[in-house]
Amino acid sequence: KQEVTQIPAALSVPEGENLVLNCSFTDSAIYNLQWFRQDPGKGLTSLLLIQSSQREQTSGRLNASLDKSSGRSTLYIAASQPGDSATYLCATNAGNNRKLIWGLGTSLAVNP
């Protein structure tokens, strides 16, 4: 049964820092892995999707990597800004995109 773990649970950094969020999963037979952002009381915004055949995806200041064999993904945020403050969730699946298994998230606070 797929289990997804995210560390750290919470992170507080000063503005401008580069940071790395970690996601690990127990079953390497995944279809893809997605990173989401959740703002308080809001929905889930898809940030990056990495297909199982890919190693990384980039969007602006965000870069997500995937190492299936070790069951890990990282989300790198460059030059963090206060507007990046949110909870970041990773989710993956096995065999199809229909049933995502989620981590508990990393709560990020970027301080001005």
Partner 1 sequence: EPEVTQTPSHQVTQMGQEVILRCVPISNHLYFYWYRQILGQKVEFLVSFYNNEISEKSEIFDDQFSVERPDGSNFTLKIRSTKLEDSAMYFCASSASGSSPLHFGNGTRLTVT
Q: Interface with partner 1 by CB under 8 A: which residues?
A: 4, 31-32, 34, 36, 41-46, 49, 51, 89, 91, 96-104
Nearest approach in angstroms of CB 39 to partner 1 is 10
Q: Which is nearer to partner 1, 65 or 87 (CB)?
A: 87
3 close to 28: Cβ distance less than 8 angstroms: no
* Under 8 Å between Cβ of 12 and 70: no
34 vs 80, which CB is nearer to partner 1? 34
Minimum CB separation of residue 15 from partner 1 in Å reads 27
Token code pair at residue 4 = 């997804």
SS3 (DSSP) at 83? helix
Contact 66, 54 (CB under 8 A): yes
- Region for residue 2 given its phi and psi (left: phi exceeds 0; alpha: psi -120 to 50; beta: otherwise): beta
Q: Least distance in Å: CB of 58 to partner 1?
A: 15
Smaller CB separation from partner 1, 73 or 80: 73
Judged by beta carbon, residue 69 or residue 96, the one nearer partner 1 is 96
